[in-house]
Every structure is written in C-alpha cells, then in structure tokens.
Amino acid sequence: MATIQFSSIPTDVHYYIAGYLGVSSLLSLCRVCKSLNLNYTSALYRHVDLSMHNRGLVLCNRSGDIILHADHPFCENVPKRMRARQERFIQTMLSQPAYRLYVQSLAWTFLVLDQWDDDLPPDAPSEVYQAPLTELWPVLQDLPNVLSVDVAHIDPYLNIYMLGSPPNALFPSATSVRLVGRLDYIFAISILRAVDPARLVSLCLDNVQDEGQMNSKEPYKKIHDICTADQIETREADGERGCVVEGGMRGLLTHLTGRCTALRELVLRKAGQERKPDSDWHEKADEEVYEEWALFIKSTKQTLQRLVLEQGLGSWGEGRQKPPWRSCRGGPPWQEARPMDQRFMRILFPVLASGGWLCLESMDIRGVGSWEGVPAMDELKRAELRMAIGDRAALVVKEAASKTLEHIGIVPVRWFAYIPTRYSED
C-alpha cells in the first residue's frame, strides 16, 4: 500500500484542516517545510485578533478590587506581549505585502504607547510612542479582502488623532463592521464610507465617541467653549466644518441610510444623559444621535433579523435613581424623567412600534429605565411593541444596561481623581 505524505494531499484538504487548528498549531506546520508553509501561511493570517476589548469582565488593578469590562476606558489591563504582537504583525505586513491578501477578519485595539508603559525606558523620546502605530495606516489601507472588521480605541486620555491622518478608504470589502469607543471621526467615516452598503450584513456602533473640535485643527477644551446650540454642526467627511461637540458621534449613519439592503444585524449602544441640566452634555447634539438612529432603523426594517438598542450610565451614574438635588429657592427643577429615556421614547419608540418588521427574529432593548418607580417602558408600551414585531420575534426589554457606558468626549475633571495602575496580565 502506497504511503501518502501529508504535504502531498490536495490544497483544499489542507484548507479544511486549517479551519480546526489554533495559531500555535498553524505556526508549527508553517515551520515544517516550504510546501506546508505555502499551504498554511494563508490560514495563519486569515483571522487576525490583536484586540483587548473583547475579553469581557477583567481585573483592572493590581489589588484586584476593580472589575470592569475590557472595553471600558478605565480598563488599562493590557494583555502580556500585546503591543509586541501588534508591532510584529505590522512589520510582517510591511515586509511581506502578499500576506495582506490573506487577512479576512481583523480585530484590533489601538494601544497608544505612552510614558506609563513598562516596556519603554523612562527617557524614551515621544517619537517612540507614536512610531509603531503610525506605520499601521499603510497596512490597514491595503487589506482588500477583509470581510469582518472590529476596531476599538478605549483610552480616555489619548486619542488616535495623535497618530497622523488615517487613509481615506479602509476595508472596502467588509460586510461586518464594529466600531468601539473614542475614535477619530475621519477614521470612523473612512471605514463606513468605503464599504458597499448593499453588501453590509452586520453593523455595530458601540458607544462611539467624538472628541469634538473648535475647528478643523484644534479640539476644544470645555463644552462651554463651544458656542450656542444653533451653531453646532455635523462634521463632514473631510472634517473641515467646525464646532462639533464631544460625546456620541454624529454623521456615521447618514451615508448608509436607505442603502443597506442586506443588513441582518444592527447593534447600537451609547452613553445616556441621566439628569438635566448637565454641563457634560449638549442636548441638541445628543438628540441628533437618536434621530440619526431612528432614520437608519426605519430604512432597514425590511431586512433586519436582530436589533440591539442599549443606552447606559457611566461609573458615577450606575444605580442612581435620582439626582442629588431638588428644587429650592430658584435651584434647578426636579425632573420628571431621565433625558435619555425621554429621547428614546419620543424619537426611537415610534419607529420601533410602527411595524413593518418582515424578517425580525429578535429585538433587545436595554437601559430604558424607571424614574421614581415609574418605568419608561411600561406594560402598555411593551404590549404595543410586541404587537408591532409579531409573535415570532423574541423581545427582551430590560431597565438595566449590560455594562457601564461612559460619556468620554473631553475627559471630565472628575476622571483624574482616579487613574488606574497600568499592568499586564499573564
């Protein structure tokens, strides 16, 4: 009986085998011989996960008394050797351009090297902090076969705006897009305007925050620097229109509205305003985010199978049922409900309850809470929603959000009262 060498089996069989192997096994096979290297290198780079924001709940300090979601801006628990792995990937893509064609799925967390990093000498020049990720832009621009992209930037003190101008178009073949955290507007829009809306199947905007700007070159320092409500503008793709407030990023869905004819999954999360007035929030800009969501959801009703809408409070608001002040002698009035719930019910709920859900399998609504014991989404509203989506679709409505969602435009002064200790986990 003739002996069949492993290296001589058909290429499609190697491709099938690679789907069951982990990274370490693929690396071992690539090192066996030239033939196996050619067959398994493509599988090694097919799914690239160099992220830290998808780990769920993690310990965020050495004492172990703070547990937060890995995509929280306070979570600075960086996995061991993560920066080295990212830099190695960048250098490999630069030295082996052909490998870029193999990447079909990319998950990436922007890690800005700074003075707190144990891996760097204390006297390292500032150029060292920025150089590795500055080289990332030409790599990202030349990944033509990426179908799934998941990128996040969660550091509240530094932003990727520091790393130079991102390319104009990224991941044109993507059918699944997830954006998380505090992102530069040009970077976010370079992804969403590059994809083909007709091929987009899944979209997730997870508390995407805008740092704000006074003009095209200078971010503003405080919300009081911004001028009046009638001067606020939605920034264009070139970023040249000034006066943009911090907070939930606007203008991301405008280009896609009415054009996503194959969208099956939509996940929208944002931080919510709990009390009024609140100097950290610009109410007109926040309402525009809800209005943008409403128009986009209305345009995708006929194809959506799964819809998740979530609004949440930050670390200081979670669990608080009322503001710490009452009306007295000209003070602020006692509010009737949280502004976040009022906007949800006034702007989003009519779209959800108007019917027209042809393919919907599940709708998950979280963070629409109660005030003084009165729920914003009462039994009548839930019944109305159930009637609109039909009996075949699963409906989940919970007052609590699944996690804290920070409002992280320009970092509030109170954030500096606590700066977590940076460390790396094994």
Q: Per residue in 251-282, pLDDT tens?
A: 999 999 999 999 999 999 999 988 887 777 88
Give the tokens for residue 424.
């790396």
Q: pLDDT digit string (tens) for 380-425?
A: 999 999 999 999 999 999 999 998 888 764 444 333 333 333 334 4
Q: Which one is predicted more confidently, 409 or 22?
A: 22
Ranges 19-33, 41-55, 241-255, 381-395: which has the least confidence: 19-33
Tell me whether residue 5 is exposed, middle or buried, using C-beta atoms within 10 angstroms of its C-beta: 0 to 12, 13 to 18, 19 or more.
exposed
Q: pLDDT digit string (tens) for 70-89?
A: 888 777 778 878 888 888 89
Q: What is the mean pLDDT of residues 124-130?
A: 44
Give the tokens for residue 323.
């503001």
- What is the pLDDT at residue 227? 44
pLDDT at residue 291 above 80?
A: yes
Q: pLDDT digit string (tens) for 162-196?
A: 455 677 789 999 999 999 998 888 889 999 999 99
DSSP three-state, residue 214 = coil
DSSP three-state, residue 268 = strand
pLDDT at residue 1 above 60?
A: no
DSSP three-state, residue 116 = coil
Q: Which one is predicted more confidently, 30 or 310?
A: 310
pLDDT at residue 212 above 60?
A: yes
- What is the pLDDT at residue 158? 54
- How far is the C-alpha of 420 from the C-alpha of 62, rounded, in Å? 9
Taking residue 39's Cβ as centre, other Cβ atoms within 10 Å add up to 21
Ranges 68-82, 155-169, 350-364: which has the least confidence: 155-169
Q: Mean pLDDT, the chain, as a whole number?
A: 77
Residue 376 and residue 368 in contact, taking contact as beta carbons nearer than 8 Å: yes
- How far is the C-alpha of 152 from the C-alpha of 198, rounded, in Å? 24
- What is the pLDDT at residue 424? 41
Q: Which one is predicted more confidently, 333 or 224?
A: 333
Ranges 8-17, 53-62, 325-334: which has the least confidence: 325-334
- What is the pLDDT at residue 316? 57
pTM of the model: 0.83
Give the tokens for residue 284.
């007109």
| 374-375 and 370-371 beta bridge pairing | antiparallel
- What is the pLDDT at residue 348? 97
- What is the pLDDT at residue 392? 92
- How far is the C-alpha of 198 from the C-alpha of 262, rounded, in Å? 6
Q: Which one is predicted more confidently, 60 or 359?
A: 359
Residue 90 and residue 138 in contact, taking contact as beta carbons nearer than 8 Å: no
